[in-house]
A = this chain, B = another copy of it.
Amino acid sequence: MVGDGSVCILGLGLIGGSLLRAAVSVGREAFGYNRSPQTVEAARADGYDADTDLIAVLDRATAAGSLIVLATPVTAAGPMLDAIAEHASDAPLTDVISVKAQVASMVAERGLTARFVGGHPMAGTAVSGWGATDPELFRGATWAVATDDDADPQVWSAVADLALEVGSVVVPVGTDAHDAAVAAISHLPHLTAAATAAVGGQAGDLALRLAAGSFRDGTRVAGTAPALQRAMLEANRESLAAALDQTIELLAAARTELTEAGTVAGLVEAGHTARLRYDQIAGAGAPSITVAVGSDDWPRRMRIEAQRGSVWRGAQMRSARPE
């Protein structure tokens, strides 16, 4: 383990705040920073160690060798990384932001790459802020951990261990592959939900009154605060544009099939097949990755096992992890 096992969380919104609660609940020392005094007061009132003084928090993380978790929206990450570079450049660093390439590039610009392993817990709700935090948010979730060729095994293990301890399974994935995947399964659903909601809204109040389950579920994430959605989606521009292109193509083909042949079989069947595959994957227990962290060529071999459907549940007995 890097340092003393403590966790320093920068940003106490839904994800960061929930992680502070979760880390404490599993026995970790954990403390956090938020720029809003209201949030810090709310966290303190709930018994958590939180502060508005970023420099003091970073100095403490440096002294303890804490794992620093960057948990702000990507739009606020730049100034945080500046402060980390100045006050905690040797600290092991991860993040819980929903895009990985842009964060990795911001980290690289500040010379922090060697101590950085990005992460992304696939958990969230349409609500936000400290009031919505939940120590159980990560239980049963998948936590993507960036597993690029140059990943530091100690930092990688520190990130993966934290994810495992709060109840998630780890999916090792390359930075670029992560962004392409989440564009399709996390960011695109925000835009299809928004389009579905907007077309319903254009149909008028009587139509909205007739709306039932398919509309309610299909537009749920459109209710997320627009600023949070935009921060996430706009940071993954290239991959999201590609996913949008695929979507438009599928819908245009369905439109043609509907008007020319009177059927929507193509799209309905494709969607049904994909949804059943998702149910199968979500419902089945995945095999465990057996690659030892730090062994020869471990990041590439881990990514291959993950591509085949395996997940990381912790070190094996024969671990070659450097101590």
B124 touches A212 (CB 8 A): yes
Contact for A271 among B208, B222, B252, CB less than 8 A? B222
A290 within 8 A of B: no
Whole-angstrom distance between the alpha carbons of A251 and B144 in the complex? 28
A173 within 8 A of B: yes
A63 to chain B, nearest CB (A): 35
B222 touches A275 (CB 8 A): yes
Contact for A207 among B185, B201, B245, B271, CB less than 8 A? B185
B265 touches A226 (CB 8 A): yes
A206 within 8 A of B: yes
Contacts of A181 in B (CB 8 A): 203-204, 206-207, 210
Interface size class of A (residues with CB under 8 A): 35 or more
A210 touches B185 (CB 8 A): yes
A85 within 8 A of B: no
List A residues 182-235 near B (Cβ within 8 Å): 182, 184-186, 188-226, 229-230, 233-234
A193 to chain B, nearest CB (A): 6
B272 touches A223 (CB 8 A): yes
Interface residues of chain A, those whose CB is within 8 Å of chain B, are: 122-125, 141-142, 144, 171, 173, 177-178, 180-182, 184-186, 188-226, 229-230, 233-234, 237, 240-241, 243-248, 250-252, 254-255, 258-259, 262-265, 267-279, 281-282, 286, 306-307, 309, 311
